[in-house]
Amino acid sequence: LEFLIAGATAIGIGTALFYEPLVCKDMITGMNRFLKDNGLSHISELTGTLKLHD
């Protein structure tokens, strides 16, 4: 999720898939939980929301 907040539009998970083939299911479950817990309806609502403090 940190990459999305920083503005990424795609996430590379190839290495994770090599070690844990079911990681996609876990990622989707976790992302959906995060969205629900934070009152968001779509993952795109996170993209580019990083705020840096001066």
Q: Tens digit of pLDDT per residue, the chain (54 long)?
A: 676 676 666 566 666 677 788 878 888 898 899 999 999 999 889 888 888 887
Nearest CA to 26 out of 36, 18, 39, 16 is that of 16
Tokens matching residue 20: 């844990």
* Contact of 23 with 17, CB cutoff 8 Å: yes
Q: What is the pTM of this model?
A: 0.63
Domain ranges of the chain: 2-45
Contact indicator for 46, 4 with CB cutoff of 8 Å: yes
Distance between CA atoms of residues 22 and 20, nearest Å: 6
Distance CA(46)–CA(6), nearest Å, equals 9
